[in-house]
Amino acid sequence: MPSILEALEQKYGESSTESEGSEDEGISVSIFVPCKSPRAVVPALLVLNDCDITTAGEKDALVDKCAGVEELDLAKNKLSDWPEVFGILQQMPRLKFVNLSFNVLRTPLPQVEVDRSMKWQELRNLVLNSTYVSWESVRDILDYLPGLEELHLSLNDYNDVCLHDDKTNCTCKDRENDNQSHQCRCQDYKQRHKHGMLRTLHFNGNPIENWQEIRKLGYAFPNLQTLVLADCPIKTLDVDLECDQVACNKNYERSESGPESSDKKDSPHDAFRCLKVLNLNSTRISTWGDIERLSKFPALECVRVQGCPLWETNEYTEHERRQLLVARLPNVTVLNGGAKITAEEREDSERAFIRYYMEKPESDRPERYCELVQIHGKLDPLVNVDLRPEKRVKVTFTCGSNSEVRMVDVYRTVADLKTKLEAFAGFSANKMRLFYVDQDMRENGPEEMKYPSKRLYSYNIRSGDEIIIDCKKETERY
């Protein structure tokens, strides 16, 4: 299995300085390539994914080549030990981005002998998708990255969050039960092991179900602005499934202040005071109550919530669904990746929301309904306007000197109408020509009804119009 040095040599090789001659027309042409320093050979963006790399290689040679690397992509290699990873990173002090995805790094980091004073001050983005890195290792890694702003922990098979310190330091009652220790709610936990620089966290595809666990991410990263939870089987944002939903809603106070006091039940948003972007696509959110909880996040602006069980019903059209979402989320300005919600769209959605629930029993109306009635007042139901054409109209039929008024089905075709008029006209349908005369546009003359399969309503026929029947001449029949 190659080292990173061997992979570098295979990909970039050595610059050729030998002269090459051309035998064309007997003229020899020499090309001289100026010698470059070794560190100029390797670009600042170094991509070595899927190269079967397992080790770092000789350290001195590595630092000579890679000391200037700023972005490193080692995804889909065969790195399995943190000592080798740190052996690579220690030679690249200028790193800003590192991708280690799809390298299985289960080895606990505390076993790695690394200089604890070593810090990657410039590293801003770390990708650890599908590495199965332990929470213990994540905590230790963060100590080396004081400036980290974006972290990717997707597809790591996490069903809980353990970014807090040793559970023996926890003072809450859950500590007595090891099986529930990861659900600690005590205030001491909320204050420990914070990483204040992190702004973006990708947590897709982890089998985590409990929002109490998700909140721990907010406590660990108090300035988090973007959180991606797509494809996580989260069932609800309710932090206390045993309490009555109505009672819980009373505690969802939307505020810019600090976390709720300990005498109140925890809210789903107390750990996410700075969160602006939240992706809940393909989760298991199934109630409007969870959508309403999103409206209490104090800084939330952008939400994605598609592919959830809540939308599996055919009760709503796509347009109605968006209106009901917009009306329930007054704090959100961008919904499901669409354009920014305008003031006009919000007002239309809120009015549609009122009309949607005004016909339902009072017990089925959400709290948001009362809030919107206070803003827009009680609205009259929309008039149901049927824009379909009248099915039967009264038309005057004229054939020569004969004239007759008849009721006609406008969904009948021209060919069918000709058949019905044979007795009145005195000749067969295949000899017949029909001309439509609009009562308001007689000056434009009649319009021949040429197409047998065309339905009468397509001529906009109304009561009071006229149809003239004429017989084809002999030359017109053949």
* Residues 416, 418, 419, 421, CA torsion sign: positive
Say what the pLDDT of residue 235 is: 94
Least confident of 74-78, 251-255, 266-270, 365-369: 251-255
* 8 A C-beta contact, residue 92 and residue 123: no
389 pLDDT above the threshold of 80: no
Say what the pLDDT of residue 368 is: 93
Q: Where does the pLDDT of residue 64 fall: very low under 50, low under 70, confident under 90, or very high at 90 and above?
A: confident
Instruction: Report the alpha-carbon angle 418-434-397, nearest 5.
Output: 80
Q: What is the dihedral of CA 345, 346, 347, 348, to 10 degrees?
A: 50
Burial letters for 237-264: b for 16+ Cβ neighbours within 10 Å, e otherwise? bbbbeeeeeeebbebbeeeeeebbeeee
Q: Return the higher-pLDDT residue of 205 and 239.
A: 205
Q: Give the Cα separation of 54 and 76 in Å (integer).
A: 11
Residues 417-443, mean pLDDT to the nearest whole number: 92
Q: Give the Cα separation of 145 and 228 in Å (integer).
A: 21
Q: Where does the pLDDT of residue 393 fall: very low under 50, low under 70, confident under 90, or very high at 90 and above?
A: very high
Tally of CB atoms within 10 A around 120: 21
Q: Return the higher-pLDDT residue of 79 and 67.
A: 79
* 8 A C-beta contact, residue 236 and residue 214: no
Q: What is the dihedral of CA 123, 128, 132, 137, to 10 degrees?
A: 10
74 pLDDT above the threshold of 50: yes
Q: Where does the pLDDT of residue 378 fall: very low under 50, low under 70, confident under 90, or very high at 90 and above?
A: confident
Least confident of 32-36, 363-367, 400-404: 32-36
Domains and CATH numbers, the chain: 78-91+99-165+185-240+251-257+266-376 (3.80.10.10), 392-477 (3.10.20.90)
Percent of the chain with pLDDT over 70: 77
Residues 378-402, mean pLDDT to the nearest whole number: 78
* 8 A C-beta contact, residue 149 and residue 198: yes
244 pLDDT above the threshold of 80: no
Q: Return the higher-pLDDT residue of 119 and 187.
A: 119
| pLDDT tens for each residue of 6-34 | 888 888 765 433 434 444 445 555 555 44
Q: Return the higher-pLDDT residue of 245 and 68.
A: 68
Say what the pLDDT of residue 388 is: 64
CA distances from 254 to 52, 327, 331, 349 (A): 51, 16, 10, 22
262 pLDDT above the threshold of 90: no
Q: Where does the pLDDT of residue 386 fall: very low under 50, low under 70, confident under 90, or very high at 90 and above?
A: low
Percent of the chain with pLDDT over 90: 55
Residues 100-114, mean pLDDT to the nearest whole number: 80
Q: Return the higher-pLDDT residue of 132 and 112.
A: 132
Q: Give the Cα separation of 99 and 79 in Å (integer).
A: 12
Instruction: Report the alpha-carbon angle 289-232-335, nearest 5.
Output: 55
Mention every residue, 6+ apart, whose C-beta is less than 8 A from residue 73: 45, 46, 47, 48, 49, 99
Q: Which helix (H) or strand (E) holds 14?
A: none
Least confident of 68-72, 228-232, 246-250: 246-250
| pLDDT tens for each residue of 152-162 | 999 999 999 99
Place of tokens 């799809």: 102
311 pLDDT above the threshold of 70: yes
* 8 A C-beta contact, residue 84 and residue 59: no
Q: Give the Cα separation of 71 and 125 in Å (integer).
A: 9
Q: Give the Cα separation of 286 and 284 in Å (integer).
A: 6
Q: How many helices (H) and strands (E) does the chain have?
A: 15, 15
* Residues 323, 325, 331, 337, CA torsion sign: negative
Give the residue from 32, 40, 51 showing the smallest Cα distance to 14. 40
| pLDDT tens for each residue of 446-466 | 999 999 999 998 888 989 999
Say what the pLDDT of residue 261 is: 36
Say what the pLDDT of residue 383 is: 57
Say what the pLDDT of residue 305 is: 96
Mention every residue, 6+ apart, whose C-beta is less than 8 A from residue 391: 409, 410, 411
Say what the pLDDT of residue 328 is: 96
CA distances from 183 to 263, 306, 437 (A): 18, 28, 80
Residues 202-212, mean pLDDT to the nearest whole number: 96
List phi, psi (to 5°) of 160: -150, 180
Give the residue from 178, 205, 386, 180 showing the smallest Cα distance to 281. 205
Structure tokens belonging to residue 403: 């004239």
Q: Return the higher-pLDDT residue of 364 and 179.
A: 364
Return mean pLDDT, the chain.
82
Q: Where does the pLDDT of residue 259 fall: very low under 50, low under 70, confident under 90, or very high at 90 and above?
A: very low
Q: Give the Cα separation of 125 and 147 in Å (integer).
A: 9
List phi, psi (to 5°) of 378: -80, 130
Q: Return the higher-pLDDT residue of 327 and 10.
A: 327
Q: What is the dihedral of CA 398, 403, 406, 409, to 10 degrees?
A: 0
340 pLDDT above the threshold of 80: yes
Range picked from 41-45, 135-139, 170-174 for highest mean pLDDT? 135-139
Q: Give the Cα separation of 76 and 93 in Å (integer).
A: 23
User: Helix, strand, or coil here: 410?
Assistant: coil
Say what the pLDDT of residue 192 is: 53
User: Helix, strand, or coil here: 376?
Assistant: helix
Q: Where does the pLDDT of residue 189 fall: very low under 50, low under 70, confident under 90, or very high at 90 and above?
A: very low
* 8 A C-beta contact, residue 105 and residue 133: yes
